[in-house]
Amino acid sequence: MKQKLAIVKIGGNVIENKTELSKFLALFSKIEGPKILVHGGGKLATNFAKKLGIESKLVGGRRITDAESLEIITMTYAGLVNKNIVAQLQANSCNAIGLSGADGNAIKAHKRPIKEVDFGFVGDVDKVNVATISSLVAAALIPVFCALTHDGNGQLLNTNADTIASEIAIGMSADYDTTLYYCFEKKGVLMDIADEDSVVKHINLTSYQKLLSDKIIADGMLPKLENCFHALKANVNKVCIGDTSMLHPSSTLFTTITL
């Protein structure tokens, strides 16, 4: 029987809220067995760029990453955010190690081809180095990945953190019974965006299609759900979406997604 592995992705709204981040990291540190954390930090990067007089450009909610923006993102994601999270996990007796996709050749990607939009230095994942990540997990270290990958030719690439979490979960599923958790500020997928407690507790492919046709799932939740089903179809055991309390063993108010 495969050992269980939890891959948790934490959203930017939680990262920005010191109280929520502290609460989340305390819960994360109590997850039994091997675990991996993935984080972004887009809003903080936008704030730093603004302070430096650098305009952040978004198209359809996705960041255009030019050379100046990539410098800000690297400093914010791989530096301030990543090391702050690692330090707080150490304070919770959780022996974490902060990484980008370039470290240990962990995650290789290619620069997104120019089509209607030139996204700049944005990467789409090609390969997760399972051997490297597994060796860290086997050494009882908790990898903490920021949303940066590399192309193997010396170029860092800004990469969607949801996608990184999904691809790591897929890669590790050959050797582990993987559960992927998407932690953000809502309690789960909501039937009514105005009602925080209207959580859809279970979604499968059939109910997903109905939620799409009823326009319950739309906008920013669409790519998240696409990542969920992509992971499930590639042998990830289960995907859960909810707020930080989802990680508490007694929690029941979150969304579980299966095929």
**CATH number of the domain within which 56 lies:** 3.40.1160.10
Nearest to 232 by CA among 252, 253, 256, 211: 256
What was the pLDDT predicted at 115?
87
Average pLDDT value over all residues in the chain: 93
> Total structural domains in the chain?
1
Residue 60 — pLDDT band, cuts 50, 70, 90?
A: low
Residue 61 — pLDDT band, cuts 50, 70, 90?
A: low
Alpha carbon distance 208, 216 (integer Å)? 9
What was the pLDDT predicted at 215?
87
- Residue 89 placed within a domain: yes
CA distances from 259 to 116, 117, 192 (A): 33, 33, 23
| Residue bearing the bigger pLDDT, 181 or 226 | 181
Query: Is there a contact between 254 and 190 (Cβ–Cβ < 8 Å)?
Result: no
Q: Which tens digit of pLDDT belongs to each residue from 139-179?
A: 999 999 999 999 999 999 999 999 999 999 999 999 999 99
Query: Is there a contact between 79 and 87 (Cβ–Cβ < 8 Å)?
Result: no
Roughly how many angstroms between the first and final C-alpha of the chain, as a whole number?
A: 21
Query: Residues 72-91: what's their mean pLDDT?
Result: 96
Q: Which tens digit of pLDDT belongs to each residue from 41-52?
A: 878 888 888 888
Q: Which tens digit of pLDDT belongs to each residue from 197-232?
A: 999 999 999 999 999 998 888 777 888 888 899 999
Q: Which tens digit of pLDDT belongs to each residue from 109-128?
A: 999 999 888 999 999 999 99
Query: Residues 86-103: what's their mean pLDDT?
Result: 98
**The whole model's pTM is what?**
0.94
Query: Is there a contact between 37 and 145 (Cβ–Cβ < 8 Å)?
Result: yes
- Residue 204 placed within a domain: no
Q: Is the pLDDT of residue 39 over 90?
A: yes
- Residue 193 placed within a domain: no
- Residue 52 placed within a domain: yes
Q: Is the pLDDT of residue 93 over 80?
A: yes
What was the pLDDT predicted at 66?
92
- Residue 259 placed within a domain: no
Residue 64 — pLDDT band, cuts 50, 70, 90?
A: confident
Query: Is there a contact between 109 and 155 (Cβ–Cβ < 8 Å)?
Result: no
- Residue 50 placed within a domain: yes
- Residue 212 placed within a domain: no
Specify the pairing of strand 238-242 against strand 176-183. Answer: parallel
Query: What 8-state DSSP symbol labels residue 104?
Result: G
- Residue 93 placed within a domain: yes
Q: Is the pLDDT of residue 253 over 90?
A: yes
What was the pLDDT predicted at 33?
95
| Residue bearing the bigger pLDDT, 12 or 87 | 87
Domain that holds residue 14: 3-186
